[in-house]
Structure 1
Amino acid sequence: MKRLIIDAHLDLAMNAIEWNRDLSRPLEEIRQRELNMPDKPDRGNGTVCFPELRRGKVGLVVATQLARVASPGSKFAGWHSPQQAWAMTQAQLTWYREMEVLEELVQVTDLAGLEQHIDLWNSEAIPDEQKPIGYILSLEGADSLVNIDYLYKAHADGLRAVGLSHFGPGRYAPGTKAVGPITSAGLQLLREMAKLHLILDVTHLTDEGFEQAIDLYEGPIWASHHNVRRFVPNQRQLTDDQIKKLVARGAVIGGMLDCWAMDIRFIDGISDPWQLDIKLAKLVDHWDHICQIAGNCHHIGVGSDLDGIFGTEQAPWDMHSVADLQQFEAILNSRGYKEEDIDHIFHGNWLRFLKRAWSTADA
C-alpha cells in the first residue's frame, strides 16, 4: 500500500494559467501538446498533473499564487505594477476555484478541514483516483499585496502561508540573487501576518532577511522548499546555523528536486541529470544532513517545487513524474530509516506542524 504524501510546494496555478497546462489531463497528453513549443524552457517535460498526483498518493499540497513586481531596469521578469501582479494572483485563485467545481481540488484552511481531508485519503472506501486533492493556499513572494489591506482580502480567500520574497528585489523583502534586509513595509506585513496566525515561509529570503524573520516573527515558520548549503554553497540554500534556528522554532524543511539545488555540479541549461547521474537518492543526502543537526527526522519533508519553471530536463533522471515521489520509501529504507520515520517524512511532519499552527489559530 502506498503511503500518503504531502508536498509543501507546487506552482499549480502558474502552470495552468501562464504555461496553459490543463492539469486535469494525463501527463503524456500535456507533454504531447507542448511538442515544438519554444516559449518556455521545460516545454514537453512537465511532471505534475492531477492524475499523477493521485497515482503517487500525493493527497495534500501547498499550492502557490505567484506574481512578482519588476522595477524599471530590473533583470528579473515581473509585472510593472502591484495592481497587475494582484490581478494575476486573482486569475490564479479563480483557476483554483474552477478546479474545486470540477472536484479535482478541495481547499483546506483549518484544523477541522485538515483532519477531514486526511481521513478521506486514509480511507480505502473510495479509490484514490476518485478523491479530490487538498490544497493549502500559499503566496510565494508578497509583491502582489498592493497594501496591507490586501493581506486581509487574501486571508479571507483562504491564504494560509506567505513568503515575503522570491527572486531579486522585492516590495516587502529582497530574495534569491539579491542582498539586504526586509523592507519597512515587510516588517509591517510580518506584524499583520502574526495577527492572522499565517505561516511565514522563509524560502527565498536573503541571509539578513532570514535572521530578521527568525528574530521578529511571532507566528509559525516553515521552509517550504529548501536544501542544504553545506552541499550546494548557494545563498538559496540553508546554512547549518539556519537549520539549527529552524529546528529550534519547530519548523519543517521541504526538500526540493531542482537538480542545481541537489548537486553542485549541475548548471542550469547546460547540465544533464542523466550524464551527472543525479537521482532521487541525492535529496536524501540533504535530508540526512538536516536529521544529523536536528538529532531526529522530525524536521524534514517533501517540498518538491516540481514544474517550478523546470521539468524532467532539470530533475532527477530516475523520476518520470510526481508520482515517483513514492520511490523515496525504498531509498529511505536502504538508508536505515524506520517505518515510522518514513511516515514522518512523507506526511507526518507537515501534519504535526499544521495541527500545532492551526490549533493555535483556532484557539
Structure 2
Amino acid sequence: MAFTLAACQSQQASDGKRHDISPESPQMQQARTIAQKYLIADTHIDVPYRLEEAFEDVSAHTEHGDFDYPRAVDGGLNAPFMSIYTPAALEQSGGSKVLADKLIDMVEGMVKNAPDKFALAYSTRELEQNFVRGVMSFPLGMENGSPIEGDLANLKHFYDRGIRYITLTHSKANHISDSSYDSERPAGGLTDFGKTLVKEMNNLGVMVDVSHISDEAFYQVMAVSKAPVIASHSSARHFTPGFERNMDDDMIKALAKNGGVIQINFGSTFISQESIENYNAFKQARTAYMAANDLAQDSPEVEAFQEEYRKKLPFVFATLDDVLDHFDHVVNLSGIDHVGIGSDYDGVGDSLPQGLKDVSTYPNLIAGLLKRGYSEQDIVKILSGNLIRVWKQVEAYAASH
C-alpha cells in the first residue's frame, strides 16, 4: 500500500502517547554502538521497483525514498534484501518474468558500479563474509511469485540469479496462491502448482515467504513445507483486527512451531488500528468525491481534494512504541527466536511511523528495545540472528535433498 500524499504531515505525539527516546540518552548511545557492531538484516526493502519508476544513484545520498547508502551506513544496515517486486496485474497481461529479470539486472548493476559499497549475497556464508569485509550485502527476495509463470524451470532460473525467498503472491490471487488482499479465493489456499512449488523451493534452498497470502494458504504452507518459512514483512493482527495481511496469534505460534520467523513491517497501517481507520475514511471520502464529480484518481481536482482533506484531517502515524508493541507481542507469544525486521522501506510510501522514517533509524528501534529490557543478545537475534538461522536451516535442508 503506497501513500502518495506529499502534503501529509506527521502528527506529533501530543496525545498522551509515550515519548521518543532522547538522542543523548544512555539507551541511544548504546543502540548506536550495537547497530554498528552487529549485522542488521532487513528482509524487505523496495528499492528496485522505486528506481524502476524514477532512477536515482543509491550509492550516494538521494533526494527521494527511504534507502540510500549513506543513510543505511548511519543506521547500521548491512543486509537489505532487495525486493524484486512485480505488480499483480502482470499475472494476466504477461511480462512478470521479464520485469523480474530486469530488476535483478538493475541490482547487479548497482553492485557493479559501486563494488566498494555493495555486494550480492547468494548464501549466508557470503552474507557473513561481506559483513567482515565491510561491504553492504544485497540478498534478493521476490515479492509475488508471478514471474515463475507456472514453470519450475523458472524457479531454478531465479535461484541461479540469486533469489533466496519468494513471497508466493501479492495483492491478487495468482497461479500459486490466494491473496489476503483479494476477496476472490479461487484456489481455497494454494493451487496444486503452489503446493509443488513450495516443495521445490525447500529442495532448492529458497525460503518460502507467507506474507501477502490468505490464511488458508498459510496453513497449507505449514502442512507442506519441510523447512522453516518466513513472513518477510508482516505484523501482528492482534493490534489490527480484521486486517488479514497481518498474522493472528495462532498463525504466529504455528510459524514458530515450524521454526520460522515473522519480520515486522513498519508501515503505520500495519501497526496501528487508528492509522487504518484514518486512511480508510480518507479513501471513502475520496471515492465519494470522485463519483460525485465523475473524476479519475489522477486528476488535478482529486489531487487538490486530497491535499485539502489532509490539511483538515492529517494522516495518523504510528509511533515507535506502537512498533515495539508488535515485537513484544510476538516475543510473548513464541519467544525471542521468531521475530525480526521487515520494514517495507520504499514500499509503504509516506506512512512510516514517527522515529522510523528511513534506513538511518534502526538505532531508534534498538534503543526502544533496550528501554523495554531486551538484552544485547536478544537484540542481535532480532537484528539478524533469527533470520540467518532460518536461512541456514533452509540451506541445510536443500543440501540434504
1:1-363 mapped onto 2 (5 Å cutoff): 1-3=33-35, 4=38, 5-27=40-62, 30-31=63-64, 46-70=65-89, 78=90, 80-82=92-94, 84-102=95-113, 103=115, 104-120=117-133, 131-146=134-149, 147-178=151-182, 179=185, 180-233=188-241, 234-266=243-275, 267-268=278-279, 270=282, 276=316, 278-294=318-334, 296-308=335-347, 310-311=348-349, 313-363=350-400
Question: Shift of residue 232 of structure 1?
Answer: 0.6
Unaligned runs of 5+ in 1: 32-45, 71-77, 121-130
**Superposed CA offset, 1:199-218 (max 9, x none):** 10011110110010001122
In 2, Cα distance between the equivalents of 1:69 and 1:350?
27
Question: For residue 123 of structure 1, what is the aligned residue in structure 2?
Answer: none
Question: Shift of residue 236 of structure 1?
Answer: 0.5
Question: Shift of residue 25 of structure 1?
Answer: 3.0
Whether contact under 8 Å (1:16, 1:23) holds in the other structure is no
Larger Rg: 2
In 1, Cα distance between the equivalents of 2:165 and 2:46?
14
Question: For residue 16 of structure 2, what is the aligned residue in structure 1?
Answer: none
Secondary structure in 1 matching 2:79? strand
Moved more, 144-153 or 239-248: 144-153
Identical-residue share of aligned pairs (%): 25
Question: Shift of residue 297 of structure 1?
Answer: 1.3
In 2, Cα distance between the equivalents of 1:349 and 1:356?
11
Whether contact under 8 Å (2:71, 2:359) holds in the other structure is yes
Question: Shift of residue 282 of structure 1?
Answer: 1.0
Secondary structure in 1 matching 2:142? strand
**Superposed CA offset, 1:214-270 (max 9, x none):** 011223311111111111121001111001101101111111111000000114384
Alignment CA distance shift 1:256-1:262 (3 Å): same
RMSD of equivalent CA atoms: 2.1
Secondary structure in 2 matching 1:144? helix
Unaligned runs of 5+ in 2: 1-32, 283-309
In 2, Cα distance between the equivalents of 1:203 and 1:238?
9
Moved more, 176-185 or 7-16: 176-185
Alignment CA distance shift 1:17-1:79 (3 Å): farther
Paired positions, count:
326
Which structure has more relative contact order (CA 8 Å, sep 6+)? It is 2
Name the TM-score, length of structure 2 as normaliser. 0.76
Name the TM-score, length of structure 1 as normaliser. 0.84
Whether contact under 8 Å (1:198, 1:219) holds in the other structure is no
Decide which structure has greater helix share.
2
Alignment CA distance shift 1:161-1:50 (3 Å): same
Secondary structure in 2 matching 1:225? strand
Secondary structure in 2 matching 1:161? strand
Q: Which residue identity is paired with 2:165?
A: A
Q: Which residue identity is paired with 2:53?
A: E
